[in-house]
Every structure is written in C-alpha cells, then in structure tokens.
C-alpha cells in the first residue's frame, strides 16, 4: 500500500518540484478546489518549482486562461504542458518521421469544441473518413456523447487503416459530478476495431520528459500529483517519478469516498498496473 497522508505538508520538503494534474486535482470542471488552491499558493511561496500537466487537447494558453479564471496565479508555475500543445508542436510542425509521413488530409474529430490542437492551415481538413489520410481525435464534439455515437466513423477509419493521433489519452472525466467520455475512450475503441493510434499525453513518457526539462530537475526531486491511476500514476511510474494519488477524483466511486481506500485501492492498482508513492483523499496542506 502507498503511504497515506493526512496532510500534504508532511512531504512538501522532500521535493523541489511538483507536477500537478488539472481536472480532478485542481478543479472539477467548474470551480477550483479551495484546499488545492491554497496548497499550490503555499508551495509557490516557499520557492518550489511548480508545473501544470494536463491531458487537455487544448494548447497551454487556453488552459492558462482557465486556471487564472478560477483563481490560480500563473506566476506560481514554471510552465503548463498539455497533450494538445504537444500535438500542435510535434504533429503540426511535422517534427519527427511519423508525423512527416502523415498525409495532407485530416479528419478532425472534436474540431468545433477543441479548435487549436493543430495550427491553422497545417493540414487540409475533410469531413469524411473516405476522404482522409489520417484522423486527429481531440474528443467528442458534444460533452454528452457516448462511445456508440462514433461507431460509424471509427469503423470506416479502421477499415481504411487510417492512422489516428489521439490528443487526449483520458477515457473520461467527471464534470461537476457527471462522467463524460474523452478522446481516450474513442481511441481505445478504434484500437479494438483494428486501428493504429499514436497517443500524446499521460501516461506516455514523452510528455513527462518534457515536464522534467521545463522544471530543470532530476526525476528523483519531483512529485506528480493527480487523481488517475491510468494516466497520472502510471506515467509517473514509467518515468521514475514519485507520485501522490488523490482519491476524490476519477476513482472516488471505486474508493467509497476515499474514507477507507484499503479494500479497493490494491485492486485498482493491480487493475491499472500503477502504484502511487502516496495516497490522500484530497490536495490539502
């Protein structure tokens, strides 16, 4: 079992840098969690290096605007890294062999809701899988969508062997208490249909390497704080970074409100192949 924390202050001095997830860690899609806001401000005041890491398919500037809107001061952070920002940079700039091999015509799922995952004019956008060279999966256009709504387009893409780029590996989030699917669920279904997917974001090491570069700290002096075993904690495990799992986010229902996580936490860790260094119900100093 990970060490259960009664207060975040008990481990704050062990680390020089902290990487914070956003959704389920700092806020719930609406307002900031007051204790999380106070904890981040306290760490910044003590001179710690702080960074935000989000699987949002939006670029960092959009996430920055959201954070300031709910009370976070951007001066507290060394930077913001998002999966959408990596797509805009690496795919939009064709910065590696795989992205240079992508064709010009892209079918962009979630374009209206997530409009900045590719730079304007980087590719020619099409409306049908039959006309596309590849698929950019930023997520559902409608937050109330279900995975079944995409069966037709995903099947058509898989039948044509179109490569998919997933700009958000999260499978779901809780928005003010309601579960909503994300691009990761659509990508998972695409793989089940035989499609090939390249993911940008947590839990893949590429994005954690970028965070460590921004912090200019070794992995052993950094702590990842998040609510998702499948992304935050698994990614930190793969990158050799200590982690704190918060029980009040995506796993709250499984953990029974996080009052006594022991009966279920071991099962969840085994299910996801991820083990946090610490566990707490919420991010509170």
Q: Per-residue pLDDT tens for 146-156? A: 999 999 999 99
* Residues 180 and 156: beta-carbon distance below 8 Å: no
Nearest to 37 by CA among 210, 237, 282, 228: 282
Residue 241 lies in a domain: yes
The answer to the question of residue 72 being in a domain is no
**Residue 218 within any structural domain of the chain:** yes
pLDDT for the residue numbered 257: 53
Question: Global pTM?
Answer: 0.94
User: Would you state the pLDDT for residue 96?
Assistant: 96
What pLDDT is attached to residue 258? 46
Asked, for residue 207, whether it belongs to a domain, the answer is yes
Question: What does the pLDDT look like over 220-238, one tens digit per residue?
Answer: 999 999 999 999 999 999 9
Query: How far apart are the C-alpha atoms of 169 and 190, rounded to whole Å?
Result: 13
Domain that holds residue 227: 3-55+202-280
- From 170, 199, 228, give the residue that closes a domain: 199
| Plot region of 29 (φ>0 → left; ψ -120 to 50 → alpha; else → beta) | left
Given the structure tokens 């695409």, which residue do they identify?
190
Three-state SS at 169: coil
Residues 187 and 219 in one domain: no
Considering the domain architecture, whether residues 211 and 189 belong to the same structural domain is answered as: no
In tens, the pLDDT along 31-46 reads 999 999 999 999 999 9
Structure tokens at 105: 């015509």
Rounded Cα distance, 35 and 12, in Å: 15
Last residue of a domain, one of 177, 199, 221: 199
Give me the pLDDT at residue 236, please.
98
Separation in Å, CA 9 to CA 14, 25, 96: 10, 16, 42
Pairwise CA distance, residues 23 & 67, whole Å: 11
Under a CB-based contact definition with an 8 Å cutoff, are residues 78 and 192 in contact? no
182 & 108 share domain: yes
Position 90 scores a pLDDT of 97
163 found inside a domain: yes
First to last CA, the chain: 22
Residues 174 and 225 reside in one and the same domain: no
* Domain shared by 128 and 179, yes or no: yes
> Would 22 be classed as within a structural domain?
yes
Q: Which two tokens stand for residue 163?
A: 């490569």
DSSP 230: I
Q: How many domains is the chain built from?
A: 2
In a domain, 253, yes or no: yes
CATH of the domain at 269: 3.40.50.1000
**Residue finishing a domain among 199, 231, 262:** 199
What's the pLDDT score for residue 152? 98
> How confident is the model at residue 155, as a pLDDT?
98
Dump pLDDT digits (tens) for 44-80.
999 999 999 999 999 999 999 999 999 999 999 999 9
Residues 107, 188 within the same domain: yes
Residues 185 and 207 placed together within one structural domain of the fold: no
Q: What is the pLDDT of residue 161?
A: 98
pLDDT of amino acid 233: 98
- Residues 243 and 223 grouped into a single domain: yes
User: Does residue 153 belong to any structural domain of this protein?
Assistant: yes
- Residues of the chain short of pLDDT 50, as ranges, are 258
């Amino acid at each position: 079992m990970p060490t259960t924390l009664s207060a975040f202050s008990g481990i704050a001095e062990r680390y020089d840098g902290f990487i914070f997830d956003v959704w389920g860690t700092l806020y719930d899609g609406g307002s900031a969690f007051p204790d999380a806001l106070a904890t981040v401000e306290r760490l910044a005041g003590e001179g710690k290096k702080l960074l935000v890491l989000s699987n949002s398919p939006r670029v960092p500037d959009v996430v920055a605007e959201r954070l300031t809107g709910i009370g976070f001061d951007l001066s507290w952070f060394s930077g913001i890294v998002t999966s959408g920002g990596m797509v805009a940079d690496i795919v939009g700039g064709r910065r590696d062999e795989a992205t240079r091999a992508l064709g010009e015509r892209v079918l962009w799922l979630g374009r209206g809701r997530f409009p900045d995952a590719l730079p304007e004019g980087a590719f020619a956008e099409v409306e049908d899988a039959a006309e596309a060279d590849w698929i950019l999966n930023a997520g559902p256009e409608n937050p109330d969508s279900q995975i079944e709504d995409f069966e037709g387009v995903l099947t058509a893409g898989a039948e044509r062997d179109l490569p998919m780029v997933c700009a958000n590996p999260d499978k779901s989030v809780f928005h003010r208490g309601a579960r909503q699917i994300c691009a990761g669920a659509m990508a998972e279904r695409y793989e089940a249909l035989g499609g090939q997917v390249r993911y940008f974001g947590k839990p893949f090491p590429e994005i954690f390497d970028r965070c460590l570069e921004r912090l200019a700290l070794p992995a052993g002096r950094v702590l990842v704080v998040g609510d998702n075993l499948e992304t935050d904690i698994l990614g930190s495990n793969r990158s050799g970074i200590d982690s704190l799992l918060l029980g009040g986010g995506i796993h709250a229902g499984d953990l029974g409100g996080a009052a006594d996580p022991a009966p279920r936490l071991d099962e969840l860790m085994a299910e996801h192949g991820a083990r946090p260094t610490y566990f707490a119900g919420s991010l509170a100093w």
